[in-house]
Amino acid sequence: MRKRYVAAVAALGLTVGGLVAVPAVAGGAPNGKQPAAAANKQVADQFIVTFADTVSERKVSHKDVTHQRELATGGVVVRANRALDAAGSQRLMGELRRQAGVVEVEADLLVTAQAAPNDALYGQQWDLFEPVGGMNVEAAWNTADGAGVTVAVIDTGIVSHSDLNGNVLPGYDFISYPSVSRDGDGRDANPNDEGDWYDAGECGGAPSPAASSWHGTHVAGTIAALTNNSAGIAGIAGAAKIVPLRVLGKCGGYTSDIADAIAWAAGGRVPRIPSNPNPAKVINMSLGGASPRCSGTYQKAINTAVKAGTTVVVAAGNANSDVAGFTPANCNNVVAVAASDRGAERSFYSNFGAKIDVTAPGGEVRLATDPPGTRTTPENGILSTLNTGTTVQGAESYKTYMGTSMAAPHVAGLVALMLGEVSMTPAQVEAALIANTRPLVACPGGCGAGLVDAGATIAAITAP
């Protein structure tokens, strides 16, 4: 995986870490990545000369360079005696390669601290970079971006959003009943989110009406919003692709539809449905309901996906209860994710218990409807892509939400980063996530291994 060359944004005032090789050239692409044409025309004044193992005396003989030192790898560092332009660097490297015994000459590239991406709202994404409650994504971005990995988001579908559209592949609407889907038909190839709003008295006698959540779009943005595009937010795996699968509509969604979506997402065959042209290596399910046991239908669908090599990530639930009573988080072969707040403590709503695998930032927003005197804290939620419509779609927007629904896509995004670097089975993915967590400040009831750490995880799986 090629490294991400990103431009510094001093105005954000962020602490950044990690090192990334940066070609010493003037200018560059607007998104901070070095143009392909420039990669072979680097301006360098220091070079590493590698000799064949059979060469005993490793000495560079050239009037225009000065020997600096030998490396632990056996290479020799030399420095040009004068300033060079791009053509001069290439010419000198060619001359050095012609010396007897030399097998390789490379520019000794400068390095600099990995800068934050230039997305305009990145400074509000504490969940990615803050040292206490964040998941240390910047360290992972030194090498990983999720390119080549497809993530299926099984949710309410998707709405058009300029900060997300470029990473969205064709999906599917698995809602069987028009009364739930609101699109006038049953299953079809259009995963457009038609809104999940309802009136008071509907959906099991709900006492109050509810506006459309555009939930699937929020989840998808956390995973793979366009990153380093000078706009909006940064997705955790900004080069990954999203396959949106619509299973939740008015009043929710049926297990039967969700199970079919799981199988289809992983490349399985679903009767009377065309095959998925973009099988996913990761499935995110920020959904669930109360049930003392995992249904056999859920478990069979999940097993099918895992057998196909797909990692299934599931939100633990928001009832402040033992996750053992909530499905599909209580199923086997899933990565069950609890939620933490900005202070790295279990969020007040998050489910907990022995079946939790890991925890990720889910936020904790206090509302005006909380006890009198409570200060609203939208800044402590998870910021992602959304829509302003209260029933049908309006304008694109960004908004903070909280929930284990927000925690799960953090893990799904990290899994996409992992699989973009190393081929791994779902069991290996889960083991690596667990092994590279860091402790939470507090987690009554149990939050699995701890808070996921993207930098530590990527470093561990890519280590020699």
Cβ(167)–Cβ(235) below 8 Å = yes
Contacts of 161 (CB under 8 A, 6+ apart): 217, 221, 385, 386, 387, 396
Catalytic status, residue 405: yes
Preceding amide of 372 cis, omega within 30: no
Catalytic status, residue 215: yes
Upper half-sphere CA count for residue 402 (Cβ side, 13 Å): 22
Neighbour tally for 325: CB within 10 Å: 18
Nearest of 341, 252, 328 to residue 284 by alpha carbon: 328
Catalytic residue from among 181, 213, 286, 405 = 405
CA distance 336 to 325: 13
Cβ(327)–Cβ(310) below 8 Å = no
What the block records as the tokens of 234 is 């940064």
What the block records as the tokens of 458 is 């990527």
Catalytic status, residue 423: no
What the block records as the tokens of 179 is 């009364």
Catalytic residue from among 155, 341, 357, 453 = 155
Catalytic residue from among 127, 212, 215, 347 = 215
Q: Which residues are catalytic?
A: 155, 215, 405
